[in-house]
């Protein structure tokens, strides 16, 4: 049975691009459209989508729908829900694919309810088998992987980044985008909330770098008593920050470490709950991960599900990392190793090319 597929996207904060990983979802949408013999519609939300529409015009969608205007510039539930609902209704889509950005994670479940449809989030794979769409997602915080299908339509699927090949425009001649703008007038009740801005740490203390090649995780051991019976938080902080600076790595923390700030214990000043990786933290996606002073217990390691290459430095040879959770466990003092490592990397950076600049999108 032919299916209408809608690729739904919002413009990024800069206002003239899509979030980078949206092109992965566009790639997945095109693949499914082909497999199912369906029709693809692109839906865009933002203050002005004209530039963005040009970038996806060559994808070959039947229609490009948009809801535009100042009301749709920022990520507000009421306005985003109205915009997404209008696009979905106009597209008459059976399957709606979108990137799991914070903006869409906030709003698309509500849209599914308005459409009498259903929603699934954090989907890591999507495939068509004998005309049936199957989605893969994790349950119990990355501890059980489920493959599901849904009877209800429309079905909104929010895909995680890094799971599909991104669509790349290979056409040399540009296609002019024909945008069908759908008028949406917000009721007064939808404007009770005003987005006033973004609060971010200063760039020199920003430690979360989702595009980094390496995740560096600090465990509670950094703040515990060392061999001389004293804590060395004053040494731990510069060691970790130096490492982040020379490698461009993203910083993660174990729950026990980030919780210490709420328990009036010695803490690393730059470590917050936003850095927390694991059962009640994030599940970041980086090619490599290096754990230090962390025992590698299951509630933490579930946050490493999408880290491919894993190494750990810990004094305990029987810690969780040794039990099949890391590729290499170095039984050593992380203070000593990191000091040597920083010196080595700094020397290499002085004599070699600069490390690649790292962006900061999603953790």
Partner 1 sequence: MTNGYHIVVCGSIVPDPLQTLEPIQTPTGPALKNEMMLPAVLDPWAAHALYEAANLASKAAGTKVWLVSVGPKAKLQQVMMTIAQRVSFELVPVDSSASGFADAHSTAALLAETIQGIAGLDRSRLLVFGGWESASRGAGATMQLVGERLEILDQFQGVDQLSVQADGSFEVLERIEGGRHQVSVCQGPPALFGWATGNLPEPRNNPQVGMANMRTVMPALQRAKSVPLADGGLHFLSASPPKQQRQTRVVKDLSAEQIAQEIAEWIGK
Residues 265-294 that bind partner 1 (CB under 8 A): 272-276, 279-280, 288, 290
Could you say which of 88, 214, 220, 294 contacts partner 1 (CB under 8 A)? 214
Give the count of residues interacting with partner 1 (CB under 8 A): 106
Binding of residue 340 to partner 1 (CB under 8 A)? yes
Could you say which of 120, 219, 236, 277 contacts partner 1 (CB under 8 A)? 120
Minimum CB separation of residue 94 from partner 1 in Å reads 14
Q: What distance, in Å, lies between the first and last C-alpha atoms of the chain? A: 38
Minimum CB separation of residue 91 from partner 1 in Å reads 20
Both tokens of 104, joined, read 């869409």
Cα separation, 9 vs 59, whole angstroms: 14
Binding of residue 118 to partner 1 (CB under 8 A)? yes
Binding of residue 317 to partner 1 (CB under 8 A)? yes
Could you say which of 14, 192, 227, 354 contacts partner 1 (CB under 8 A)? 192
The DSSP letter of residue 157 is E
Binding of residue 105 to partner 1 (CB under 8 A)? yes
Binding region for partner 1 (CB under 8 A) out of 35-43, 177-185, 198-206, 233-241: 198-206
| Phi (first) and psi of residue 289, to 5 degrees | -140, 135
The DSSP letter of residue 320 is G
Minimum CB separation of residue 263 from partner 1 in Å reads 6
Among residues 51 and 118, whose Cβ is nearest to partner 1?
118
Binding region for partner 1 (CB under 8 A) out of 45-53, 59-67, 119-127, 220-228: 119-127
Minimum CB separation of residue 145 from partner 1 in Å reads 6
The DSSP letter of residue 62 is S
Helix axes 233-247, 334-351, angle to 10 degrees: 30
Could you say which of 34, 92, 143, 171 contacts partner 1 (CB under 8 A)? 143
For residues 250 and 210, is the Cβ–Cβ distance under 8 A? yes
Burial of residue 111 (CB within 10 Å: 0-12, 13-18, 19+) is buried
Closest C-alpha among 63, 88, 93, 70 to residue 11 = 70
Both tokens of 349, joined, read 């950076």
Minimum CB separation of residue 326 from partner 1 in Å reads 5
Binding of residue 328 to partner 1 (CB under 8 A)? yes
Interface positions, 154-173, toward partner 1 (CB under 8 A) = none
Provide the b/e sequence for 305-334 (b: ≥16 CB within 10 Å).
Answer: ebbeebbbbbeeeebbbeeebbeebbeebb
Binding of residue 357 to partner 1 (CB under 8 A)? no
Instruction: Please report, to the nearest 10 degrees, the dihedral formed by the alpha carbons of residues 29, 31, 32, 38 taken in order.
Output: 90
Both tokens of 17, joined, read 């691009």
Cα separation, 212 vs 64, whole angstroms: 33
Among residues 169 and 282, whose Cβ is nearest to partner 1?
282
Binding region for partner 1 (CB under 8 A) out of 60-68, 77-85, 88-96, 232-240: 77-85
Could you say which of 172, 196, 228, 351 contacts partner 1 (CB under 8 A)? 196
Interface positions, 1-60, toward partner 1 (CB under 8 A) = none
């Amino acid at each position: 049975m032919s299916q209408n597929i809608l690729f739904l996207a919002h413009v990024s904060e800069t206002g003239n691009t899509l979030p980078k990983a949206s092109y992965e979802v566009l790639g997945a949408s095109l693949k499914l459209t082909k497999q199912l013999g369906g029709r693809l519609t692109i839906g865009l939300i933002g203050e002005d989508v004209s530039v963005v529409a040009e970038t996806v015009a060559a994808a070959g969608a039947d229609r490009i729908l948009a809801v535009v205007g100042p009301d749709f510039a920022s990520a507000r539930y009421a306005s985003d829900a109205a915009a997404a609902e209008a696009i979905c209704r106009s597209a008459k889509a059976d399957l709606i694919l979108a990137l799991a950005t914070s903006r869409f994670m906030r709003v698309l479940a509500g849209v599914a309810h308005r459409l009498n449809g259903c929603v699934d989030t954090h989907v890591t794979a999507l495939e068509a088998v004998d005309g049936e769409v199957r989605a893969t997602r994790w349950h119990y915080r990355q501890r059980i992987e489920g493959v599901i299908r849904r009877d209800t339509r429309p079905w909104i699927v929010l895909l995680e980044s890094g799971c599909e090949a991104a669509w790349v425009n290979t056409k040399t001649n540009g296609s002019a985008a024909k945008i069908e703008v759908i008028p949406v007038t917000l009721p007064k009740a939808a404007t009770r909330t005003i987005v006033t801005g973004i609060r971010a740490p200063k760039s020199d203390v920003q430690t979360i770098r989702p595009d980094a090649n390496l995740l560096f995780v600090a465990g509670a051991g950094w703040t515990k008593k060392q061999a001389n019976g004293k804590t060395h938080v004053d040494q731990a902080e510069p060691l970790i920050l130096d490492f982040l600076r020379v490698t461009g790595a993203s910083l993660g923390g174990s729950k026990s470490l980030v919780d210490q700030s709420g328990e009036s214990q010695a803490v690393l000043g730059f470590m917050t709950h936003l850095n927390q990786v694991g059962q009640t933290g994030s599940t970041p996606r980086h090619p490599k991960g290096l754990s230090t002073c962390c025992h590698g217990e299951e509630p933490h390691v579930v946050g490493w599900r999408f880290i491919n290459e894993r190494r750990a430095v810990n004094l305990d040879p029987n810690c969780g990392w040794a039990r099949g959770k890391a590729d290499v466990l170095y039984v050593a003092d992380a203070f000593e190793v990191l000091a040597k490592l920083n010196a080595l990397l700094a020397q290499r950076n002085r004599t070699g090319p600069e490390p690649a600049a790292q962006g900061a999108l999603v953790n």
